[in-house]
């Protein structure tokens, strides 16, 4: 994924369409934040297509730069949104309590990222088969690690199998990407998250979402 503007655009249209289907299957208000993730990821990929075209000179530079900023803002808001979305659909009280600290962590990570975004130099350039974004961050490596924790660990704590699968897929992907091509993590991981967010749609469409909560050994 994310090999070109066209790949981003196709992913955006497909995932966005699937995301609309996810919203159609919302049965409770508490599911809305989770259901909105696929359509958000779809829009995110379409926005990056504009960034590609701006860098390639196929659209005005000002439009490409605006797309870059919107793309990064959405990416940086995810640590604050994902833990909340996961906790809202969690019915096991013990698991909800375990997820709560990651909401605070996500808010802190988002705040740090937005400060870096709006106070430091921000650049984007084509890095082969992805866009390499560079945001000036103090303790950047640590913030990225906390970003991964805030977005992935709450899903791993879920009693919902589909959500756990989504978390495992994304944790595995970001680990591999960070090892192979650190400069492409933002672009490539977001593309992967967009595609794998189809798992969320499956969760909303299946009986699992209506079934009983998985209980812990002590009944919590």
pLDDT at 154: 95
Report the length, in residues, of the chain: 220
At 138 the pLDDT is 82
| pLDDT, average across residues 16-21 | 87
129-168: per-residue pLDDT in tens? 788 888 888 888 899 889 989 999 999 999 988 899 888 9
Alpha helix segments (H runs only) across 181-218? 185-196, 198-205
Q: What is d(CA 83, CA 11) in angstroms, rounded to the nearest whole number?
A: 24
Weakest mean pLDDT among 38-42, 89-93, 127-131, 176-180:
176-180
DSSP class of residue 216? Answer: P
**Does the pLDDT at position 185 exceed 70?**
no
Specify the pLDDT at position 5: 84
Give the bridge partners for 122, in sequence order: 135
* pLDDT for residue 194 is more than 80: no
Residue 103, pLDDT score:
97
pLDDT at 3: 66
Contact 68, 125 (CB under 8 A): no
Do residues 59 and 50 lie in contact, with contact meaning Cβ atoms separated by under 8 Å?
A: yes
* Alpha-carbon 14 to chain mean position: 16
What CA–CA distance (Å, rounded) separates 11 from 208?
Answer: 27
Query: Tokens 């088969």 — which residue?
Result: 129
Task: Decide if pLDDT at 113 tops 50.
Answer: yes
The per-residue pLDDT for 12 is 85
Report the pLDDT averaged over residues 70-97.
94
Mind listing the pLDDT tens digit for each residue in 198-218? Answer: 888 888 877 445 554 444 444
| CA atoms of 124 and 183, how far apart (whole Å) | 10
Q: Which two tokens stand for residue 66?
A: 């605006």
Q: How many CB atoms lie within 10 A of CB 172?
A: 12
What is the pLDDT at residue 219? Answer: 45
Mean per-residue pLDDT, 55-59: 91
**pLDDT above 90 coverage of the chain, percent:** 41
Least confident of 18-32, 36-50, 182-196: 182-196
Contacts of 161 (CB under 8 A, 6+ apart): 208, 214
């Amino acid at each position: 994924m994310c090999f070109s503007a066209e790949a981003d655009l196709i992913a955006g249209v497909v995932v966005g369409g699937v995301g609309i289907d996810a919203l159609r299957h919302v049965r409770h208000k508490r599911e809305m934040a989770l259901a909105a993730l696929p359509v958000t990821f779809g829009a995110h990929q379409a926005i990056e297509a504009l960034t590609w075209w701006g860098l390639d000179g196929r659209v005005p530079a000002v439009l490409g730069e605006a797309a870059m900023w919107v793309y990064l803002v959405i990416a940086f808001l995810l640590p604050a949104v994902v833990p909340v979305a996961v906790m809202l659909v969690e019915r096991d009280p013990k698991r909800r309590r375990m997820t709560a600290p990651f909401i605070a962590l996500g808010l802190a990570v988002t705040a740090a990222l937005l400060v870096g975004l709006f106070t430091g130099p921000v650049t984007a350039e084509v890095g082969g088969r992805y866009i390499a974004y560079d945001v000036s961050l103090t303790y950047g490596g640590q913030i990225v690690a906390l970003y991964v924790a805030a977005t992935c660990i709450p899903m791993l704590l879920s009693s919902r199998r589909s959500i756990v699968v989504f978390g495992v897929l994304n944790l595995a992907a970001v680990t591999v990407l960070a090892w192979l091509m650190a400069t492409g993590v933002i672009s490539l991981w977001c593309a992967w998250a967009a595609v794998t967010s189809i798992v969320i749609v499956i969760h909303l469409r299946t009986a699992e979402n209506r079934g009983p909560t998985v209980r812990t050994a002590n009944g919590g």
